[in-house]
Every structure is written in structure tokens, then in C-alpha cells.
Amino acid sequence: MFIPEIPENSLTAEITEIVGLCWKLENDYEFNFAPPVTESKISKWEQNHDICLPEQVMEWLGFTNGCTIGYDRIFPLERFIVGHEQLPNDLVIIGVTHDESLCFSRNSGEIVRYSLRETRRYNDFRDFLNSTLIRSLKKG
């Protein structure tokens, strides 16, 4: 399993814990991590879409530009979906968790898991990592 270098940022503890759990469970689930995206590509994407990415999403992209962690996927930057017709206009899809779209609000920067049945909101990307990815990995 390829693991990119763990960056020093506000998500270092969460990324380190996720990596450790992935190594422990590598025979039971699919784990794929892409190399990180460059700051210039992030900046270009933001300019092209007239959207500012939330800081912690940028920090995550500085670790991996797309990943599969068990049943959850965080897309690479170039696959983020802006303006999906079935979602509120301010949501940008950055991944999928089970049957929900993982998004951020381009108005507030809030992280949201959205489905037709339910919307779950998180304080920030760290909160999402802890309450969803890490919690799921710990259950095995």
C-alpha cells in the first residue's frame, strides 16, 4: 500500500491515525492513496471555479489527491463536482461515503454529508475525519 508522506499541518494527528488503522486493516479492506496535489494546482482550480477550498480540505489534498478508505472515497481535486443538479447549489462534491455525497459548502466552507434522506453537518474536515472515517476504521 502506497502512503504519501504525512504533512505537518492541522490534520497531522488524524492523518497519522488513519494511516496506522489502514496498515492494521490492509488485508480486510481496500485502501488507496494518491500522491498529494501541488499548491499551484489547487490555486488554479480555485481560480477556474471561483471557489475557495476550506483550509483543511487543502491540507488533506496536501497529503493525498484522492483516496479510497474502506467504503469511503475522497475524490482527487480534478474530480470535485461543482453544481450537481440534485444537490443544493452551494455544495461542491468532494467524495462519497456509503450512499451519501461528501461535500463542502462554497458559501460557508462547512463539511456536509448529503443524501436525499438526510444531511449531516460537521464543524470542519477534522470533525468529519474523526466522527466518520476514523470511527468506521476503529470498528473494523
10 Å CB burial of residue 66 (0-12, 13-18, 19+) is buried
Q: What is the pTM of this model?
A: 0.94
Please write the tens of the pLDDT for every residue from 24-42. Answer: 999 998 899 999 999 999 9
Answer yes or no: is pLDDT of 102 > 90.
yes
Cβ contact 69:31 at 8 Å: yes
Rounded mean pLDDT of 115-136? 92
- The rounded mean pLDDT for the chain is 94
